Amino acid sequence: MDPIIARDFSFSRDFRSIDWGATLKHNLLRAVCAGMVWAGIGLFTGPPHFVDPPLLLPLIFPLGFLCVLLPLGLICAFLAKFIPFIGLLSVVIAILVVVGDPIVCILSLIVPGLVPMHKPGFFMFSLIIWLLKTEEGMDVPIADQRAGNR
């Protein structure tokens, strides 16, 4: 039976338990897969393209995720505590990455060693998926509640 997390993720409390390499690898894999989805959409929708040619999106999207989407999503999630409507922008930013989750889920079934998470969800509505170390050595996903998982 898979481990179930019955508590919210707290960065300060769970900081020592985070498997940083697996967390980075999993989130970048989600970004690459999201780039593949957006490239496919870009190929079928026709001009104008944000990136020309759209086949470069799987390479560019992870960099955009790290440099733009992640900081913007975290800032919006923080500001949502004070301005409720900003929380919707945080959710939209998270959805830009969530579209890659079905491909990650399928990859985990085909090539389990490629995906660091044991059983990723088909849609994990969170900007960041935190993977924690456990005693058994299995990574446990924790969705960041502040980054669009409301």
pTM of the predicted protein model: 0.78
3-state secondary structure of 102: helix
- 59-105 pLDDT, tens digit each: 899 999 999 999 998 898 889 889 888 888 888 899 999 999 999 99
Write the pLDDT tens digit of every residue in 18-74.
888 888 999 999 999 999 998 888 888 876 666 667 778 888 999 999 999 999 988
The chain-wide mean pLDDT, for the chain, equals: 80
H or E segment to which residue 130 belongs:
strand 129-132
Any idea which residue has 């020592």 for tokens?
A: 16
Q: Is 140 helix (H, G, I), strand (E, B) or coil?
A: strand
What the block records as the tokens of 141 is: 């996903």
